């Protein structure tokens, strides 16, 4: 998996202010607690980024491990730990398709369309297989993916501008219906202390998967599908959702 978010790491949280992390953390906690067959304590946050959800899940009482491929994103998370005096989260800089843990975990979460950054179905299966390997029997895995509707209608060929006090992001999308790949061309303008702006450029890529493809990969890798919900809600998934949220169980 290619490294991404190197240029975006320092401004990621400020530009993602519209994301309701607390609501997502509540959803994840509910899904884990309601579907656990044994008491859940150890939780892996896979592709944790700057650790926003990792910290919130820690506050919910879970013993957290965060994995991310971006050293820059993990650096932001570690800085927050230092500032807040937090020393009980394990951070690992590893690829979500090739990671190693010191032991098993009781549950795993993977959010904010991180699975879509795996641009081959074989990579998705590698990721699922590793999660299955490190989960305890009957451990719960909760993750989301962006739906075909989001790729076609929200991404498509659309351009967006996201602005914070000292940062501006110009975001251009290029979705290819045939390859199911969407490339994001990002230009970040960050205000410097002298009042000038420094520009950073980054290209990211996501892959659009069908629900059938994801469910097939899960079953192949040894998971039992508990349910699929739409948009972090209690509603069953449908084709009008922009996100599908999977809750599955590790069968061994």
Domains delineated in the chain:
19-146+210-250 (3.40.50.150), 150-207 (2.20.25.110)
pLDDT at 166: 83
Using alpha carbons only, give the angle 150, 129, 71 rounded to the nearest 5 degrees: 70
Strands 135-146 and 243-250: antiparallel
Query: How far is the CA of 99 from the CAs of 38, 126, 161, 233, in angstroms?
Result: 25, 10, 35, 30
pLDDT at 207: 98
pLDDT at 141: 98
Model confidence over 212-238: pLDDT tens digits?
A: 999 999 999 999 999 999 999 999 999
Q: Tell me how far apart the alpha carbons of residues 247 and 252 are, in angstroms, rounded to a whole number.
A: 17
- Tokens found for residue 27: 């959803």
pLDDT at 100: 97
| pLDDT bracket for residue 14 (50, 70, 90) | low
| pLDDT bracket for residue 2 (50, 70, 90) | very low
**18 alpha carbon, distance to own chain's centre:** 16
Model confidence over 54-82: pLDDT tens digits?
A: 999 999 999 999 999 999 889 999 999 99
pLDDT at 26: 98
Per-residue pLDDT, averaged over 147-175, amounts to 92
Is residue 118 within 8 Å of residue 95, measured between CB atoms?
Answer: no
- The better pLDDT of the pair 48, 13 is held by 48
Strands 181-191 and 159-163: unpaired
Per-residue pLDDT, averaged over 121-140, amounts to 98
Q: Tell me how far apart the alpha carbons of residues 28 and 43 are, in angstroms, rounded to a whole number.
A: 11
Model confidence over 32-54: pLDDT tens digits?
A: 999 999 999 999 999 999 999 99
Using alpha carbons only, give the angle 215, 149, 50 rounded to the nearest 5 degrees: 75
DSSP string, 41-95: -EEEEET-TTSHHHHHHHHTT-EEEEEES-HHHHHHHHHHHHHHT----EEEE-B
| pLDDT bracket for residue 115 (50, 70, 90) | very high
Per-residue pLDDT, averaged over 73-95, amounts to 94
pLDDT at 8: 63
**Which residues make beta-bridge pairs with 28?**
none
Model confidence over 196-207: pLDDT tens digits?
A: 888 888 899 999
pLDDT at 197: 87
Could you give the 3-state DSSP secondary structure of residue 214? helix
**Which residues make beta-bridge pairs with 115?**
none
113 — alpha (psi -120 to 50), left (phi > 0) or beta?
A: left
Q: Tell me how far apart the alpha carbons of residues 128 and 217 are, in angstroms, rounded to a whole number.
A: 8
How many residues in the chain?
Answer: 252
pLDDT(13) > 90 = no
pLDDT at 164: 78
| pLDDT bracket for residue 10 (50, 70, 90) | low
Per-residue pLDDT, averaged over 8-19, amounts to 63
């Amino acid at each position: 998996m290619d490294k991404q978010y190197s240029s975006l790491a320092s401004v990621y949280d400020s530009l993602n202010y519209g994301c309701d992390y607390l609501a997502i953390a509540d959803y994840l906690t509910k899904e884990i607690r309601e579907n656990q067959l044994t008491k859940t304590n150890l939780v892996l946050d896979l592709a944790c980024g700057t650790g926003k959800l990792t910290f919130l899940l820690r506050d919910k009482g879970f013993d957290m491990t965060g994995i991310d491929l971006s050293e820059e994103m993990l650096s932001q998370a570690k800085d927050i730990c230092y500032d807040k005096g937090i020393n009980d989260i394990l951070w690992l800089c590893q690829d979500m398709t090739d990671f190693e843990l010191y032991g098993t975990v009781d549950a795993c979460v993977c959010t904010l369309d991180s699975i879509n950054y795996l641009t081959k179905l074989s990579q998705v299966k590698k990721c699922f297989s590793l999660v299955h390997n490190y989960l305890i029997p009957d451990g719960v895995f909760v993750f989301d993916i962006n739906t075909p509707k989001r790729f076609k209608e929200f991404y498509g060929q659309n351009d967006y501008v996201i602005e914070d006090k000292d940062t501006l992001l110009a975001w251009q999308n290029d979705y290819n219906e045939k390859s199911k790949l969407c490339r994001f061309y990002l230009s970040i303008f960050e205000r410097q202390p002298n009042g000038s702006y420094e520009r950073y450029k980054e290209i990211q890529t996501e892959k659009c998967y069908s629900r059938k493809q994801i469910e097939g990969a899960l079953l192949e890798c040894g998971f039992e599908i508990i349910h699929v919900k739409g948009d972090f809600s209690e509603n069953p998934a449908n084709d009008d959702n922009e996100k599908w949220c999977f809750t599955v169980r590790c069968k061994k």
